[in-house]
Chain A
Amino acid sequence: MNVPTEILCSALEEILETMYFCEATWAGPGRIVLPAIGAAVTFSGTCCGEFRILATSPLATKLAADFIVAETSEIAESLARATILEFANVACGATLGAWNPDGDFDLSVPRLLCENELRGGWPHRFSIDGGPEELGAAVELRA
């Protein structure tokens, strides 16, 4: 059982458009060029699993700047990390809600991915505003 790609795409597109004022385009599976910032949210309830997001460091900085309406030069790395943590939280809730509207889920507090979790391929990558693939996403459902 997997969350359909179109549901994940729709959820991420909605979030990026509503809160970060940019457009995402699905670009298939593959790697994301490091350095990057990643975050994960585990969920339980109707079903259990983990939701992961990865953004290149420049994209994380851009998202943070767009989110709080600041210049990218004003964004410290801690603020970029906080932005990706919040993005993972919102994206997880939006994806699960769209996939299973009658479901009941408990979400964990988001955590940052460690260095070795950032490497490897991602099942879903997105280009932002027509640029290169800078955002990765994965949903892992557990039995």
Chain B
Amino acid sequence: MGVLIVDDSPVMRRYIARTLGMTGIGLRIHEAANGLEAMKTAVEILPDLIITDLNMPGMTGEELVARVAADPCLGRTPILVLSSDRSAARPGELLHAGAVAYLTKPVSPEALRHQLMHIMAQRVSLHETESPA
């Protein structure tokens, strides 16, 4: 399973990568520092999950969510937004735009791993439903 981590903070990317690495699932971790870089990487690797920050220079997380949702190859890729933005309306806007979950920072390693497992379970269930018997 490939996970693309998008955050302009190199320490946050390392924190997320390390936290996901502790699941023991054997994830392939890829990183990008902004939305533009993320789109380039995403079309190359076709990740199973994108975890993105919102507030980044260049292309923001909001734009990335919209672009991924509209892309014919990436449109069904689940996106987990992980942001310090606690504005009341923001989660609803992002979920409407195509994200599957919205977590606010600070996030504990346990909460992040729990959300990852939940999204993965949903994805496996979707694949099983769509696969011919």
Question: Contact residues of A with B, CB < 8 Å?
Answer: 14-15, 18-19, 45, 64, 67-69, 79, 82-83, 85-86, 89-90, 92-94, 96-98, 101-105, 107-109
Centre residue among B14, B90, B105 by max chain A CB count within 10 A: B105
Contact A105 B87 (CB under 8 A): yes
A79 to chain B, nearest CB (A): 6
- For the A-B complex with A79-B10, A104-B87 known, give 9 more contacts whose Cβ atoms are closer than 8 Å: A15-B105, A89-B84, A89-B105, A94-B86, A94-B106, A98-B86, A102-B88, A104-B89, A109-B57
Q: Is B114's CB within 8 Å of the partner chain A? A: no
Complex A-B, nearest 7 residue pairs according to Cβ-Cβ distance, in ascending order: A97-B86, A93-B84, A18-B106, A86-B9, A90-B105, A15-B106, A19-B106
By beta carbon, the residue of chain B nearest A102 is B88
Q: Is B12's CB within 8 Å of the partner chain A? A: yes
B11 proximity list for chain A (CB < 8 A): 64, 67-68, 79, 82-83, 86
Chain A contact residues: helix, strand, loop or mixed: helix
CA distance A101 to B105 in the complex (A): 15
Contact A104 B88 (CB under 8 A): yes
CA distance A108 to B85 in the complex (A): 11
Q: Is B107's CB within 8 Å of the partner chain A? A: yes
Q: Is B104's CB within 8 Å of the partner chain A? A: yes
A82 proximity list for chain B (CB < 8 A): 9-11
